[in-house]
A and B are shown apart, each in its own frame.
Chain A
């Protein structure tokens, strides 16, 4: 029990860090310090944090353009992430990737991909490499439910199933493909049903409880590690913010968003920890340390150097 308690303390802090980091990123965007697209993960934190808590150092993570939470949960520093948003050379992709392209070779974070569904075959290839080498590493691939309609998702699942690759595909169903609700993009409510067509294992659950996310994804990770079989998982979640910063959000009501917040996983984790005896002083300290980490990241990003012109062509070829 003590282990689970300590773990929840850690996961709660990770989720809070992602949320505060992204709130700071949104402020920086409004100030013009962050450019391009900024897709926030706020509301979905338990998905990445719970899922990545199951991984070891040799496992790999591949995600979409909504990748800040993934990178932070994978242990990429807030400094490197914020600096990337600021386009600074100290960023996790040297300021050449931006919000949508967070990479960290050491942490085995392989993007940050901006083409919907295009990264799923790539993730399958990373899993293929593990199997080819006879290693026990697994690959987690994240995508939104909006990506379930595109071909790359299906070809990747088809091949991962055929070749029995150690791949876990996690569809984060946040109910909206940009501004279009799932009911208008898919003929099924449950995207994990797509697994039937490929004869692979499936699972579906809410991301209300980060420990439950960890437990359920952990089953799939164990299956991949032990038997090299892929799994398709739908994590039911909700993003409180728009698709990107330019989203006016006219496709849903404020009431709907407020209702979703009632099952907020960070609040849920806090309640569970309070029930286990932790009090205001503890949570104040967590808030303080998270704020300090984010403030430090913002300051670091602000003060870091821009990448030099010499990098424009230099990083095109190996």
Chain B
């Protein structure tokens, strides 16, 4: 077991999978000579060469589509979006091509491709560069979506995503890239569609993913001092979604809160709430609540940005609201 930063864990995953499979290649803006806009791909050009670490011009629709065609032809492309915000200009490729090829071809073609990049708010990057994309991509049958919150999961989920025969969106996080954590040695793979219990307690079930995990854990640390112990479940994989541990936890606690960075309307949190109320209805002592980002484009101002994204305080308030029901 070693301690790695989240970005180093991602880099290890990329390097190991490129070593393992000559069909894996990396393509995106500034991934090569620049060493990656967020340094995830640092050193990979030197190690694997320009044939497999490919700098692209600013043409997301073009290179996302090239990745899809290459995947249909049997390669395993990893497409880096400098941020997931820029995936919006490649949305047609992801929605109408990557997600559809399998079904439209009657199962003859598959599309083993990874689209990865930082998702959600960085720091004061404003309305166009702070968006969460899980609601868009999890909505689409044919895609898989993961959101690793720890360095170990960053490595393990990315490796699983590259090996998967379907298009997988790997939602990373700019605020997590520098976070350190233990990463198991060797060929460490985290299967897609398996959530993780991160903290145990009997009072309430708190469900989250991505950068809201450390925020939620901080909130629950504070709540524990007040004698309120919570189960915290990190979904890790948003599609396929593994709610088994969530439902088992709710059977125990009778209370559930979903914490998401993204906007409140629809989305993954709403899906989780729907599943809990249908599948654990008898256990619930009150409504399932959500703590979400505010329903507005992200403001630039630091104070307003902090108010727009859930914090440990707002998460703790959410848990107290559950208990007060």
Q: Which residues of A contact B (CB under 8 A)?
A: 60, 62, 91-97, 101, 103-105, 110-115, 118-130, 132-133, 151-152, 155-156, 158-159, 162, 313-318
Residues of A within 8 A of B56 (CB): 159
Q: A118-B97, A152-B92, A318-B112 are known contacts. Are A97 and B106 too (CB-CB below 8 A)?
A: yes
Among B25, B68, B112, which residue has its beta carbon within 8 angstroms of that of A122? B68
Residues of B within 8 A of A104 (CB): 108
Q: Which of B5-13, B59-67, B273-281 contacts A (4 or more CB under 8 A)?
A: B59-67
Is B69 within 8 A of A126, CB to CB? yes
- On chain A, the residues within 8 Å of B51 by CB distance are 132
Which A-chain residue is minimally distant from B62 (CB atoms)? A155
User: Is the Cβ of B108 less than 8 Å from the Cβ of A316?
Assistant: no
Judge whether B70 and A128 touch: CB under 8 Å: yes
Check: B74 CB closer than 8 A to any chain A CB: yes
Select B103's contact among A96, A158, A162, beta carbons within 8 Å: A96
CA distance in complex: A112, B106 (Å): 12
Assess A97 versus B70: contact at CB under 8 Å? Given A105-B109, A132-B51, A155-B62. Answer: no
Which residue of B is nearest A125, CB measured? Answer: B69
Number of B residues with CB within 8 Å of any CB on chain A: 42
Give Cα A110 to B110, complex, Å. 11
The verdict on A132 contacting B25 (CB below 8 Å), with A118-B96, A155-B62, A158-B59 known, is yes
In whole angstroms, what is the CA distance A158 to B64 when docked? 14
Instruction: Report whether A93 and B108 are in contact in the complex, using a CB–CB cutoff of 8 Å.
Output: yes
- With contact pairs A129-B73, A317-B166, A318-B112 given, residues A97 and B105 touching in the complex (Cβ less than 8 Å): yes
Q: B105 and A152: CB pair below 8 A?
A: no
- B107 near A124: Cβ-Cβ < 8 Å: no
- A121-B68, A125-B65, A129-B73 given; A318·B108 CB < 8 A: no
Q: Report yes or no: B72 in contact with A122, Cβ–Cβ below 8 A.
A: yes
Give min CB distance, B84 to chain A, whole Å.
19
User: B106 is contacted by which of A60, A95, A120 (Cβ under 8 Å)?
Assistant: A95
**Is A129 in contact with B74, judged by CB distance below 8 angstroms?**
yes
> Which residues in A have their C-beta under 8 angstroms from that of B75?
129, 132-133
Question: Can you add 11 more A-B contacts, CB < 8 Å, to A122-B72, A125-B66?
Answer: A96-B103, A97-B106, A101-B104, A121-B61, A125-B65, A128-B70, A151-B61, A152-B92, A159-B62, A316-B103, A318-B111
Name the interface residues of B105-131: CB closer than 8 Å to any CB of A: 105-112
A81 CA to B292 CA, complexed, in Å: 49
Once the chains bind, are B110 and A155 in contact (CB under 8 Å)? Answer: no
- CB-nearest residue of chain B to A114: B96
